[in-house]
Structure 1
Amino acid sequence: MPQHATTPSFLERLAVLEEQVATLRRTGWERDELPFYPTSMRAMPYDDATAFTSVWESVLTPRTASLSLGLVFIGDQVSGTNTGGAWQVVLAEADTVMSGSVAATFSYQFAAQVIDLTPYRTLTELKIQIQVRRTSGVTTGGKFGGGGAIGMAPRFARLL
């Protein structure tokens, strides 16, 4: 008896395609964590400088389209005076891609953003620096003697 190859129906083909798309979407949600390292020999990543100073950094080969970065900041309190400041995230030692201020309220502040890495995909190494500076508060005493300090740490860094 001859055998006939039948063409799958439209609904069968659609079901196969839907399954493949669902698998691709699940794969796209995989994330790699990016470690950051403190740049100071001090016990905690605080800095009391009035110019931007790197307190955390990392180097990567940009193979993904974006970086989801979350940060936390807090100012110092010296003799009842709160310290405020500013922060920025710098890529390739030249491009500021995130920035903000640290209010002089002695309370935690959070920032998060997805950073586009596509302009840097041709680089073999991309340096990411998180920098802070003191903009208000006392100028003596404090954590390291130079006045109030700004503390910060990355909460998460995921390559998407």
Structure 2
Amino acid sequence: MRDVSLPARLARVEEQLAQLQRTGWERDELPLYPTAFTALAFSDATAWTTLWETVFAPRTAGLALGLTVVGDQVGAVNTGGEWQVLLAGAVVWSGTVPANFTVQSPATTLDLLPYRGAAEVALQIQTRRTAGANTGGRNGNGGSIGLSPRYARML
């Protein structure tokens, strides 16, 4: 026979909640592929350049995305720039890379609801250099902007 008293029911609900919190959420990792040959893709271009991309079918409401970005240093000149994330060709998140040679770790959750009806959506992560040396550096064209995804989880 099932206990219908409020304290007993509340105790069952609290135990079920604690069990769910211990278990955690099930999440799907979204693979991102570099367009360069290194693990931390660099670009010294002053025009927008895609460093990471993937095509996926949005089947959840959100995409938790974390990045690591860093400028370069050529001689004593620091490199700064910008980065942006595009979904289906539209900029949905962006930021700057200050010209002070520090690592940043931006993170956000992108809303996938407008794209739920699409069979495929392209996700691109781009950078461009806006300040720094114009010669020397990693590829000879001046300082570079380094960018790598830390995680991409569909929630």
| TM-score in terms of structure 1 length | 0.84
- Aligned equivalent of 1:98: 93
Instruction: Identify the residue that residue 3 of structure 1 maps to in structure 2.
Output: none
Amino acid at match of 1:91: L
State the shift of 1:41 in Å: 3.7
TM-score (norm: length of structure 2): 0.86
Matched, 1:61 2:78: no
Query: 1:98 is aligned with what amino acid?
Result: W
Question: How many residues are aligned here?
Answer: 154
1:109 matched to 2:98? The reply is no
What fraction of aligned residue pairs are identical, expressed as a percent? Answer: 51
Q: Which residue of 2 aligns with 1:52?
A: 48
Relative to structure 1, is the Cα distance of residues 69 and 44 closer, same or farther in structure 2, using a 3 angstrom cutoff? closer
| Cα separation, 1, equivalents of 2:135 and 2:67 | 27
Query: Which residue matches 1:146?
Result: 141
| Unpaired stretches in structure 2, ≥5 consecutive residues | none
Equivalent position of 1:78 in the other structure: 74
**Structure 1: segments with no counterpart, 5+ residues:** 1-5
Question: Secondary structure of the residue that 1:18 maps to in structure 2?
Answer: helix
Distance 1:71 1:139 in 2: 25
CA displacement, residues 106-155 of structure 1 (integer Å, 9 cap, x when unaligned): 11011000100000000111111010000000111111011111001001
Cα RMSD, aligned residues only? 2.5
